[in-house]
Amino acid sequence: PAVTISLYRKRGMEPPMSLKLCADPEGLLPARAASPEHETVLQGLRDRAFMMGERYAAQQLRADREGSRPELLAFLDAFQRQLRALGVPMFPHCLVRDSAAQDAAYAAGRSKAQAGESAHNFGCAVDLVHSRRAWDLTKREWAVIGHIGKDVAARNQLKINWGGDDGPGDNFDWDPAHWELRNWKQLITKAR
Is 50 exceeded by the pLDDT of residue 29? no
Query: Does residue 93 lie in a domain region?
Result: yes
pLDDT, mean of residues 76-89: 95
Instruction: Specify the pairing of strand 125-130 against strand 90-94.
Output: antiparallel
Q: How far is it, in rounded angstroms, from Cα 2 to Cα 5?
A: 5
Is 60 exceeded by the pLDDT of residue 26? no
pLDDT at 4: 67
pLDDT, mean of residues 83-111: 94
DSSP-derived secondary structure for 73-114: HHHHHHHHHHHHHHT--EEEEES---HHHHHHHHHTTS-S--
Quickly state the pLDDT bin for 110 (edges 50, 70, 90): confident
Look over the chain and give the mean of its residue pLDDT values, rounded to a whole number: 86
Query: Does residue 21 lie in a domain region?
Result: no
The residue type found at 24 is: D
Query: Does residue 9 lie in a domain region?
Result: no
Query: What's the domain count of the chain?
Result: 1
- Find out whether 158 and 75 touch, Cβ atoms under 8 Å: yes
Query: Does residue 167 lie in a domain region?
Result: yes
Query: Does residue 109 lie in a domain region?
Result: yes
> In sequence order, which residues have a C-beta less than 8 Å from that of residue 14 and are 6 or more positions away?
8
Q: How far is it, in rounded angstroms, from Cα 180 to Cα 182?
A: 6
CATH code of the domain containing 166? 3.30.1380.10
Q: Counting Cβ atoms within 10 Å, is residue 62 exposed (0-12), middle (13-18) or buried (19+)?
A: exposed
pLDDT at 166: 65
The 10s digit of each residue's pLDDT in 169-180 is 445 578 999 999
pLDDT, mean of residues 126-152: 96
Q: Which domain holds residue 170?
A: 33-46+62-191
